[in-house]
Amino acid sequence: MDAAIYDIDGKKSGTVTLPENVFGVRWNADLVKQVSDSLLSAKRKPIAHTKNRGEVRGGGKKPWQQKGTGRARHGSIRSPIWVGGGVTGGPRKEKNFERKVSKKMKAKALYTILSQKFRDGEVLFVDKVALSAPKTKEAINALRSLSNVKGFENIFSKKNNAAVIAMLDKNKEMERAFNNLGNIEVIEARNLSPLLLLEYKYLIIENPKLVYGKS
């Protein structure tokens, strides 16, 4: 399985042989759904929190005597049936929404999404992502050049969630250059996740020969 490699100017500079077990995996919607839901649940941070009758302030004294008043008997104004009382069955912030997902499942889901993006022509391999200066202007020029590659015309014009740039190593200057572009995410290739690939349309991979295979 071969793919073309381009330089930062959008010109073809070579080819790379990709592993079948990464870019040739058939689509598995059930697996992707299960893994993505599990990862989203693990990221969930509950905020809503209600107080039960043991946490509501006041109510230490019995509202009125048990008998003789003609009214219903009550033991505390903190009862859930009172206005301002505790809440029964309300949301609690200590609830744990985390779902376990194995490393093998997560990796398989990642390869499944990578394979589908590759089949859809949404993966662009670049020999080296380097700018003359860590400036937003240079980042825009690089995206404009890469938009000349067939199939990636919208990589520059897409307003939201345009592309993920997977770098071989962490590069703070690159992150600084693309930081002002809200539709681009710069990340190390080893930190790619299924959720990130599902969120962004295009994927730019730097130096695929070292990441995935040999030319």
The full 3-state SS of the chain, as one line of letters, equals CEEEEECCCCCEEEEEECCHHHHCCCCCHHHHHHHHHHHHHHHCCCCCCCCCCCCCCCCCCCCCCCCCCCCCCCCCCCCCCCCCCCCCCCCCCCCCCCCCCCHHHHHHHHHHHHHHHHHCCCEEEECCCCCCCCCHHHHHHHHHHHCCCCCCHHHCCCCCCCEEEEECCCCHHHHHHHCCCCCEEEEEHHHCCHHHHHHCCEEEEECHHHHCCCC
The structural domain count of the chain equals 2
Whether residues 126 and 168 share a domain: the answer is yes
Whether residues 91 and 108 share a domain: the answer is no
Whether residues 6 and 25 share a domain: the answer is yes
Whether residues 70 and 162 share a domain: the answer is no
- The pLDDT tens digits along the chain (215 residues) read 888 988 888 888 888 888 999 999 999 999 999 999 999 998 888 889 999 998 898 878 899 999 999 999 999 999 999 998 999 989 988 888 888 889 999 999 999 999 999 999 999 999 888 888 888 898 998 888 998 888 888 887 788 888 999 998 888 888 888 888 888 899 998 999 999 999 999 999 988 877 665 44
Whether residues 106 and 84 share a domain: the answer is no
Whether residues 109 and 121 share a domain: the answer is yes
Domain CATH for 111: 3.40.1370.10
Whether residues 29 and 71 share a domain: the answer is no
Which residue among 56, 79, 96 closes a domain?
96
- Name the residue range of residue 55's domain: 45-96
